[in-house]
Amino acid sequence: MRFLHISDLHIGKRIYGIDLWEDQAHILDQICGMAREEACDAVLIAGDLYDRAQPSAQAIAMVDGFLSRLSQMGIPVYLVSGNHDNPAQIAYCAGILARGGIYAARVFDGSLQRFCLRDAYGLVNLYALPFVRPSQVRRFFPEAEIKSFEQAVRCILEAADIPAGERNVLIAHQYVAGARTCESEELSIGGTEQIPAELFEPFSYTALGHLHSPQALLGGRVRYSGSILKYSFDERRQQKGALLVDLGPRGELVVAERPFAPLRDLREVQGTLAELAAQPYSEDYIQAVIEDPVMPLDAQGTLRINFPNLLYLKLASAQGVPAEGEEAAGFSEAKSPIEHFREFYRAQNPGQDWTEQKQALAMQALREAEETACGQSL
């Protein structure tokens, strides 16, 4: 059986205030083409279809169009909700969608949902686990001690009684311990979301979402496909793509990476202002690192001639901290709240690292502020 594994579409996402509609639509076109050309038996989407729990009408229309195209091609889709999605919205009209070959995981109800697929070699058990928190799981297992994400997922999998010796595949959206993270993800404080890869031992293949870096664990049987686009500059060296997964008659795996060709790359350029101004015109999303001793006057305006999608500008000598006098005024509205938070912290605490735990604390504070604001507006 052949699957195309993707995740973390984040449709509707903006970076530095820039909409990515064209870029995301370009990748969705490629995914449809890959699924058709590779004769895939199904597409697996491991969460975060949307960037927000309340997506815009435009984001919903884009996802609807994407899934409709796969349905029209006769390629089934199996998907779970991620931490950015609204589980009830993803599961809405699941019965009707299933008639068109779009199988959305239900809102977690205490059990692991199973789909039964068949190929020339027999049965494949495909399990779907949406993103879950301990508080969601605890109410279904009142006798169990469930304080951590590991305990929550372990309890769900043990209760599912996964049959040994069969071809079992899992789609999930969780943070596996030891996996690489990046700045565009929203993770809980201090790595409390982490679960051990060994929990997925009963599965021939685990298709994961949540972390945006493509990577493999547990001997390659547990994999993150990664996000469909580079959503932060620390991802600039990554090759984004889909995973083509062939599952053999006894559960043996052959996994191949299928790279995407983005409409615009997200990359960094470095040099003096004169050197950068001499580079060829490009509509890529750019972070420019200026090697001049001080930030030249109108550096932003000069660079925008050749780099109209210049997103961030900094001095090399500042080591990532916006330099005094930097031509950053034009970027102020374009930066995301977490980027403002990070820059303020670094400016107030020179020499201190911006760690994963600090990022998680900042994200939690921003989410709480946003929820408070939403509540006051109702």
If asked whether residues 41 and 176 sit together in one domain, one would say yes
Instruction: Among 259, 287, 317, identify where a domain stops.
Output: 259
pLDDT one-digit tens code per residue, 12-60: 999 999 999 999 999 999 999 999 999 999 999 999 999 999 999 999 9
Question: In this structure, which amino acid lies at residue 273?
Answer: L
Instruction: Among 259, 291, 314, identify where a domain stops.
Output: 259
If asked whether residues 29 and 104 sit together in one domain, one would say yes
Q: What is the pTM of this model?
A: 0.84
pLDDT one-digit tens code per residue, 232-258: 999 999 999 999 999 999 999 999 999
Burial class (CB in 10 A: 0-12, 13-18, 19+), 290: buried
If asked whether residues 161 and 186 sit together in one domain, one would say yes
pLDDT one-digit tens code per residue, 76-124: 999 999 999 999 999 999 999 999 999 999 999 999 999 999 999 999 9
Sign of CA dihedral 313, 316, 321, 326: negative
Q: How confident is the model at residue 372 (pLDDT cuts 50, 70, 90)?
A: very low
If asked whether residues 13 and 86 sit together in one domain, one would say yes
Sign of CA dihedral 3, 175, 105, 126: positive
Domain containing 236 equals: 2-259
Report percent pLDDT > 70 for the chain: 85
If asked whether residues 57 and 180 sit together in one domain, one would say yes
Q: How many CB atoms lie under 10 A from the CB of residue 361?
A: 15
378 within some domain = no
151 within some domain = yes
If asked whether residues 351 and 243 sit together in one domain, one would say no
377 within some domain = no
331 within some domain = yes
If asked whether residues 144 and 248 sit together in one domain, one would say yes
